[in-house]
Amino acid sequence: MFDSYKHFLETPGYNKIIGEDYLIVEFKCPIKEELFTAWSECHSVVYVLSGQKKWITPANEYLVKENQSIFVRKGAFKNQQYFEEGFCVLMFFMKDDFVKRCVQEDISSEIKALKKIDHPEFIYRIKVSESLEALYHSFFSYLKEGKRISQKIIELKFREMLLNICSDYNNAEIKNVFYTIGQNAGGTIEQIMEEQFIYNLKIDEFARLCGRSTSSFKRDFKNVYNTTPGKWLLTKRLNLASNLMLGTDFTIQQICYDCGFESDSHFIRSFKDKFGQTPKQWRNAKKSLQNSVA
């Protein structure tokens, strides 16, 4: 899977500004694949300068065009690209601690008007006002200066952008999401695992999403679920796969992909170990039984 934050952080050639817990980058060249899965350990604000791109989650699809903007919570998602149009985007990555600091220092005066969201959406559209559009474009001069610009100035500008977003009543729900992140920096293991198990992330990547080292993640996971991450993921994915095989007409290959298995062979082998039959045999047997009962 494409690790977007790590890629932009470590790959030379991009116009970018790297902070202690944030990253700002101008991205022009699309990934070669038309449809690919990406993930990030950071939340992000995305502003499309030209072209268009689609973000796809299990719940919704978000086509984002020129002069449109979205907020994306940390985690995995699918992207669809349109190669016939030039694509350029500004991306503002921020870690949990950066969001928490902004909430405490910049919108704390509005704390009574904010509410914690139990199950926030993964992506939110941002209303782009004239002042916010001007703020987005103002970052180009800083991107050109790169390391020569003061980090203090960049962080203040970044926080001004977030405050502008939160101050617009059209973005009230995003303000509540920021507040939720600030109240629970890092996110709970339960929330992150339930949201992300369908993606083929490695154990150390799940750990990064949870804001933990791999060893502390495994230890905390064991305390929560009384099993290992690997065993829990396999069980969750196989149960979801069996439900999809009975409830949909998806192909075995599509179900394998949608449930986070790394390959068809791994899925078939794991399914047979649990259910005693290959996915195709199990599906045919269950459907034959359903038809005979009906």
Kindly report the pTM of this predicted structure: 0.91
Dump pLDDT digits (tens) for 3-15.
999 999 999 989 9
Quick one: 171 exposed, middle or buried, by C-beta within 10 A (0-12, 13-18, 19+)? buried
* Per-residue pLDDT band at 274 (split at 50, 70, 90): very high
CATH 2.70.98.60 fits domain 2-183: no
Q: What's the whole-number mean pLDDT along residues 53-67? A: 94
Beta-carbon count within 10 A of 95 CB: 21
* Per-residue pLDDT band at 267 (split at 50, 70, 90): very high
Q: What's the confidence (pLDDT) of residue 240?
A: 97
C-alpha to C-alpha distance for 5 and 192, rounded to whole angstroms: 18
Q: What's the confidence (pLDDT) of residue 288?
A: 83
Q: What's the confidence (pLDDT) of residue 126?
A: 98
Q: What's the confidence (pLDDT) of residue 117?
A: 85
Which residues are bridge partners to 25 per DSSP?
16, 91
Q: Is pLDDT larger for residue 104 or for residue 206?
A: 206
* Per-residue pLDDT band at 291 (split at 50, 70, 90): confident
Q: What's the confidence (pLDDT) of residue 294?
A: 56
Query: What mean pLDDT, rounded, does the chain reach?
Result: 91
Q: Where in the chain is the domain with CATH 2.60.120.810?
A: 2-183
User: Rounded to whole angstroms, what are the CA distances from 20 to 23, 171, 216?
Assistant: 8, 27, 22
For residue 258, give every residue at least 6 positions away whose Cβ sits within 8 Å of its Cβ, in sequence order, or none.
198, 244, 250
Q: Where in the chain is the domain with CATH 1.10.10.60?
A: 189-293
* Per-residue pLDDT band at 290 (split at 50, 70, 90): confident
Q: What's the confidence (pLDDT) of residue 112?
A: 60
**CATH class, range 189-293:** mainly alpha
* Per-residue pLDDT band at 111 (split at 50, 70, 90): low
* Per-residue pLDDT band at 224 (split at 50, 70, 90): very high
* Per-residue pLDDT band at 185 (split at 50, 70, 90): low
Sign of CA dihedral 37, 208, 183, 22: negative
